[in-house]
Structures are given as C-alpha cells and as structure tokens.
Amino acid sequence: MVKSPCPSLRTDSPRRQLVGFGQAVSANCRVEQPGSLAELTEVLARARAEGLSVTFRGAGRSYGDAALNSRGLVVDTTALRRVLSWEPATGLLTAEVGLTIGDLWRETISDGYWPTVVPGTMHATLGGCVAMNVHGKNNYRVGPFGDHVEQIKLLTASGELLDCSRQNRPELFRAVVGGLGLLGAVVQVTLRLSRVHSGRLKVVTAAACNLEQTLATFESLAENNNYAVGWLDAFSRGKSLGRGELHAARYLQPQEEPSPASSLSLEGQSLPTRLFGLPTSKLSPVLRTLASAPGMPWINATKYWLARRADGNSYLQSHAAFAFLLDYVPDWNQAYGAGGLIQYQFFVPSQHAHECMKRVLETCQQAGEVANLAVLKKHRADDYLLSHSVNGWSLALDFPLRADNRERLWALSQQLTELVVAAGGRFYLAKDTLLRPIDLERAYGTECLTQFRNLKRQLDPSGLFSSDLFERLMP
C-alpha cells in the first residue's frame, strides 16, 4: 500500500448531492478528490478495506446515473489534469485523466493540431471520453474516441498499474475503452491528434423536407465532408415527418487559409458571445421560457424555415464554434426547469434506420411527448466490447421531465426500446436513465455481457468498481 501524502483523505468524507448532467437524477454520495496517483491509490485501498464501491466522476457530463454512486464513494478526477507530454512532431499527447477536451485543444491548437474526435462539449474529461468511448460528428469517417487512443494506464482493484494498447493487452484495452469505468481507474491517456492547416472549417447548410430526404441529403454531404450533423423537427407530421436542417464541414487546405497563425490562435477559437442579439450569458432564462410545451413547436418550425432560406449557403467557422454548440450557453441544461431532461439516444443499422426512426417519431407524437431537440448522426461499427455503435445512424431525443409526465415518459421509453431492439439497435449508456437489464441484454447480446462480467470478475473480484448505472443495468 502506498502511504498517502495527504492525511486529509478519508472515505468517510462528508456527503454531497451529485446530479446527472440532465438534472433528472441525483444521489447523495461520499466524494474524494485525489490530486496525484499516490493519493488515488490510497483512496482505492481505503475504500476496498471498508467494503465501499467506487465510481469515477470527471466533469459530470453523463446525462444519467453513470457517474453517481448512492451506496459508495465517488472519486472526483478533475484535479488530475496535467499534460505529461506533447510532441508536435508526432501529434501524440499524454495526459492525466482529468484533463478536459478544452484543456487539450488549447495546448495543441497553435501547433496545428486538433483532437480527431470530440463530443458536443469541450468540458468532458479524457477519462470520461475513454470510459464512454465518445463519438463526434465525424464518427462515420474516423470512428469513436477510442480509435485515436494509443495507450492507457489502468490502475486495477489490486493496485497494479497496467499499460494497455492494441498491441499490449488488446482484449483488456477494447474492454476498458467504453467500459463505463467499471474495470479499473484509467489514470493516463496517450492520444493521437489530427494535423490541421487552419483553425477554421468550411461549413455548408442544407434543409430537407422529410425523413427520407434528410437521410439521403446527409449521405450526400457526408461523402465530401469531414463532419456532418442533422437536426430534426420532431413536431412535424405527415408528409413533413422528419424534416430538418443539416450542417456539414470540411477542413481547409493550406492554400485556402490566408492567415493560418491567426486562425490557429486561442483567440481564433473563441465561442460566440451573443446569439439572437442577446449575450449568451443571459440566454438560459430565455431558453427556460421557450422550452415550455407551447414554445417548442414554434421554435422547431422557425428553425426549419430559416434553414430552407439558408439552404446551400456556406461559411467559415472555427473548430470550437462548430464542435461545441452545447457550450454556447452556460448552464443550458438547466433551461428545462426543476425536472431536468431525459435524453434517449439510440443507434440503428442503416437498413432499418428510416422505418425505425419514422415509427419512433410517430410513437412520441401519439404519446403526446415530443422531443424538444432531435439530433441525427451517422456512424460506423467498431470492435470495443461494450460498443454502442453500428453501421448506421443515431438519433438523440431530449425530453423535458416534469412531475406530470414522468410516468408517461417511462412508458414511452419502453415502447421506443421495443422498436429499437427489433431493428437491431443499441443505446448510448453515457446518456441513459431509462433502460432495464433485459433491454441491455437484448440490445448487446448475452455473449457480450457475459464476456464483460467475466473480465470484471477477473480484474475486480470484490466488486470495488461500481456505479448507480451498473447497479441498475448489470445487477
């Protein structure tokens, strides 16, 4: 056992009320925040001695209960955020797990490097990105975050520190990436970044009048661009069902960027400070008003018709502004009010995507619970053990949660899950709040889950690593 240099660490620390990013689920948890590998090792040893389970929590950007632990200890990793090495000649960066995506690109952008895969927020940590194997708007082209991780260091339940990569312990590597933080503590990540010649992207806007056209237009845009993302008006019906707006973006070539140094500066990556004529810092209360049931159909319709007017237009936008739309408005997740939001994100193979998404949108409308926001992405399959991805599409649906619709939303989720499972689909557990163990088994398969459980028993026989999500889905 490593003696802790910080005597204040104790597993009986005061409890804190932690909340999932969607604000819909919470737990009263003991929390520790180690500042070094030695302190983390000591915390895990004390938790093991006291029979406490451990959950890791970075920036807390998981929408549901993946970073909550009602019965044990939550280890806050945000103090472990050092960049250990950065090699502009190779594009390799090694850092501790608490480093955020924002910390990362600020370290590398002036050297002409950008993270190949980023989620919709720059506030996610490297540890969270590995645990959830996050995907971006370019998953169909470059795969998930894990495809660009060269090596991880894993601290096991026994205190052993293991190097894992595709060449060294490949089976363990493919299980830890996307393994929800349940196999050990990832303490260090080596990541390969992408070379960019400009801090800006060429972005094009397109509009589509129904779901069939949305998917076809997306396919066409994806062929010639590095990124593509879609938004659907979930309130549209009949012949307009699935209409929406699409954005695609490509990297600029050296000859297309007249001022690379300026575009690759930190100032060149700043996010907008005003939207719709208002300071972004003041928008959260406005969004809370608009997020009411009468406001959202109007907002979605207006957004669609504005997209029709902009159809075919192109413009230049910074990497950060294109990638991190969720960060434009501080605390946007609180705009849904006291109940918060439930995000339901599913992945479905291409051959069943149109029919499945059509039925999902219609089922929501029939239930009277329409998603305020519906985001479409294109994906490719990968070989990680608990992979959520398929050769196909994903749709992320944001539902406001209120006291008067809670039971309806839970019932609706079961209807939607039946549609997704029947289509051979899967779910993104970083966003999940609603799945049941039987749903997980049907979507991922008994063989896959058995293999994961067996590996967990080998690495963690006493069940040191757990979470509320694990207790709910893999009891």
Whether the CB-CB separation of 420 and 456 falls below 8 Å is answered with no
Q: What is the pLDDT of residues 2-59, one digit of tens each?
A: 333 344 445 567 789 999 999 999 999 999 999 999 999 999 999 999 899 999 999 9
Per-residue pLDDT of the chain (475 residues; tens, 9 = 90+): 233 334 444 556 778 999 999 999 999 999 999 999 999 999 999 999 989 999 999 999 999 999 999 999 999 999 999 999 999 999 999 999 999 999 999 999 999 999 999 999 999 999 999 999 999 999 999 999 999 999 999 999 999 999 999 999 999 999 999 999 999 999 999 999 999 999 999 999 999 999 999 999 999 999 999 999 999 999 999 999 999 999 999 999 999 999 999 999 999 998 988 776 678 777 777 777 666 667 789 889 999 999 999 999 999 999 999 999 989 988 888 888 889 999 999 999 999 999 999 999 999 999 999 999 999 999 999 999 999 999 999 999 999 999 999 999 999 999 999 999 999 999 999 999 999 999 999 999 999 999 999 999 999 999 999 999 999 999 8
* AA identity, residue 388: H
Q: Note the Cα 265 to chain centre separation in Å.
A: 26
pLDDT of residue 292: 63
Quote the CA–CA distance of 384 and 173 in Å, as a whole number: 8
Quote the CA–CA distance of 326 and 381 in Å, as a whole number: 25
Q: Which two tokens stand for residue 129?
A: 């990105």
Q: Which of 400, 435, 145, 410 is nearest to 289 (CA)?
A: 400
pLDDT of residue 1: 28
Backbone CA torsion sign across 271, 276, 281, 285: negative
Q: Which of 182, 126, 178 is nearest to 157 (CA)?
A: 182
| Buried residues in 23-32 as b, exposed as e (16+ CB within 10 A) | bbbebebbbb
Whether the CB-CB separation of 413 and 399 falls below 8 Å is answered with no
pLDDT of residue 290: 66
Quote the CA–CA distance of 337 and 380 in Å, as a whole number: 35
Q: How many CB atoms sit inside 10 A of residue 162's CB?
A: 16
Quote the CA–CA distance of 221 and 204 in Å, as a whole number: 9
Q: What angle do CA 360, 364, 367 make, to 5 degrees?
A: 140
- Classify 271 as helix, strand or coil: coil
Strand order in the sheet with 161-164: 83-87, 92-96, 185-192, 149-155, 161-164
pLDDT of residue 273: 82
pLDDT of residue 5: 39
pLDDT of residue 295: 79
Quote the CA–CA distance of 138 and 92 in Å, as a whole number: 20
Q: Which two tokens stand for residue 415?
A: 């209807």
Q: What is each CA distance from 126 to 40, 41, 177, 186, 188, in whole angstroms?
A: 17, 19, 11, 9, 9
pTM confidence score: 0.95
